[in-house]
Amino acid sequence: MNVEFAWPLALSLLLALPLLGVWGARAPRPALRMSSLGSVDAGNRSWRVRLRWLPGALRLAAIALLIVAVARPQRGEAENLVPQEGIDIVLVLDTSTSMQQPVLGGQSRLEIAQDVLRDFIAERETDRLGLVAFRSRSFVMSPLTVDYSAFQDLVADAGGLDIPNGTAIGLALTDAIGLLRESSAESRTIIMLSDGENNRPEVEPEEAARIAQALGVRIYTIGVFGDTGAPTGEFVPFSVNEASLRTIADLTDAEYFAADPESLDDVYETIDELERSRLGPRRFASVDELAPYAVGAALALIALEVLLVTMVLRRMP
C-alpha cells in the first residue's frame, strides 16, 4: 500500500503549529493585581487546573489534521499503478542503402532496427509516436498517434520508400521537430538512428539541434556500427560522424549511443528508462481519498474540545 499527497506543499503549513502553540499558551493578563500570592494555595491545584492544557492541544491536533486534509492524502495499491502520460516520441530512421546491407546472421541493419522498433512500440501504452524515414530526402510517414497497430505496419514499410540514396540527417530532424512543435506533452523526444554522415547541405544537423534546444525537444542519437568483414567479427562505424551526433544530443540535454545491431534493443530500452525517469513516479489508476477521514477526525477533536471547555472543565461559580 502506498500513500501520496496530491498537494504536498500544503504540508508546509504544519511548520506554523509550534508558533500557534506558543501563542495559545501565553498566560492571560490578570484582571486583578495582587501584591502577594500568599492567599493562593499553590499546593491545592484541582484536576481541572491540571488539565487546562488539553483543549489547546486538541485544537492544535485538529488544525494539523485539517492541513493534512488540504494536502489530499491518497492511498493506492502497487498493482494499480499506470504508466505516466505525457510522452511524445518521434522515431527517425535512416533507410539508406548502407542500412540495407546484410550484417551478421544475414539480416540488414535496417531489418534489425525494424525488429527493435517493433518491440519498442509493443511496450507503449499511452505514448504518442511519430515516424520519419530518410535517405537523401526526409519523409514523414506518420504524425503523432496512439494507433500502434498501424504504426507497426508503417515501420515495416519504411525500407520500401522510393527516395534517392543519401543521408539527410538535418532534414529528417527538422521534420521530426515539426511534428513536436505543437505538442503540449511533458516529454517531447526524438530518437534518431543512422549509420552515415549528413551529406545534404540544406539543413545542417547542428542547426536542427539548436531549434530543438529552443523548443525544449530532446534528441537522442544512435550511431549504428557495421560488420567489418574481419575474422574477429569486430564492429566499426561506417561513416558515422560521431562528433556531430554527440553534439546534437548534448545541445538538447539528451545522450548519444554508439551501438552494433545486437545491442540496439538495449539502447532503446535505456532511452525509454531515461525519459520516464524525468516524469517522476508513476500514478495510481484508482485511489482512495483519505482527506475525508482526516476532516472527520479533526471535527471529532473540535467537538471534544468544546465538550471539555463547556462542561467538564467549566469553571464552577
The structural domains of the chain, ordered by start, are 1-21+48-83+283-317 (no CATH), 84-278 (3.40.50.410)
pLDDT band at 145 (very low <50, low <70, confident <90, very high): very high
Query: What's the whole-number mean pLDDT along residues 54-82?
Result: 75
CA nearest to 93, candidates 163, 146, 26, 184:
163
The pLDDT score that the predictor gives to residue 234 is 44
The pLDDT score that the predictor gives to residue 317 is 46
- Other C-beta atoms closer than 10 Å to the C-beta of 80 total 12
More confident residue, 84 or 9: 9
Quote the percentage of the chain above a pLDDT of 90.
Answer: 33
CA nearest to 108, candidates 122, 126, 94, 119:
94
Distance, CA of 305 to CA of 146 (rounded, Å): 56
For residue 172, what is its C-alpha cell?
529528417
Instruction: Record the pTM.
Output: 0.62
Task: Calculate ∠ Cα 272-276-281, nearest 5°.
Answer: 150
Q: Are strands 256-259 and 128-134 parallel, antiparallel or unpaired?
A: unpaired
In the numeric block, the cell 511533458 is attached to 186
Looking at 134-148, 187-201, 214-228, which range is the least confident one? 214-228
pLDDT band at 316 (very low <50, low <70, confident <90, very high): very low
Distance, CA of 17 to CA of 53 (rounded, Å): 15
Quote the percentage of the chain above a pLDDT of 70.
Answer: 76
Helix 205-215 and helix 169-180, axial crossing angle in degrees, nearest 10: 20
- Other C-beta atoms closer than 10 Å to the C-beta of 111 total 18
More confident residue, 24 or 248: 248
Looking at 77-91, 207-221, 266-280, which range is the least confident one? 77-91
CA nearest to 223, candidates 262, 197, 188, 254:
197
Instruction: Give SS3 for 258.
Output: strand
Query: What's the whole-number mean pLDDT along residues 304-314?
Result: 74
Kindly report the backbone phi and psi dihedral angles of residue 80, in degrees, each rounded to the nearest multiple of 5, phi listed first: -95, 10
pLDDT band at 50 (very low <50, low <70, confident <90, very high): low
Distance, CA of 223 to CA of 193 (rounded, Å): 6
Query: What's the whole-number mean pLDDT along residues 307-312?
Result: 74
The pLDDT score that the predictor gives to residue 238 is 53
pLDDT in tens, 241-299: 889 999 999 999 999 998 877 788 899 999 988 887 776 555 555 667 888 888 888 88
Q: Is the pLDDT of residue 1 over 60?
A: no
Query: What's the whole-number mean pLDDT along residues 63-77?
Result: 82
pLDDT in tens, 3-21: 778 788 888 888 887 877 6
**What contacts 38, CB < 8 A, 6 or more positions away?**
none
Q: Calculate the alpha carbon distances from 108 to 183, 224, 257 in Å.
A: 34, 12, 19
Q: Is the pLDDT of residue 232 over 50?
A: no
Q: Are 116 and 147 in contact (CB under 8 A)?
A: no
pLDDT band at 236 (very low <50, low <70, confident <90, very high): very low
CA nearest to 251, candidates 306, 214, 204:
214
Give the end-to-end CA distance of the chain in Å, rounded to a whole number.
53
More confident residue, 84 or 159: 159
Distance, CA of 308 to CA of 317 (rounded, Å): 17
Strand partners, 192: 92, 221
Q: Is the pLDDT of residue 161 over 50?
A: yes
Q: Is the pLDDT of residue 166 over 60?
A: yes
Half-sphere exposure of 144 (CA within 13 A, CB side): 22
More confident residue, 162 or 168: 168
pLDDT in tens, 87-143: 899 999 999 888 888 776 678 889 989 999 999 999 888 889 999 999 999 999 999
The pLDDT score that the predictor gives to residue 197 is 83
pLDDT band at 216 (very low <50, low <70, confident <90, very high): very high
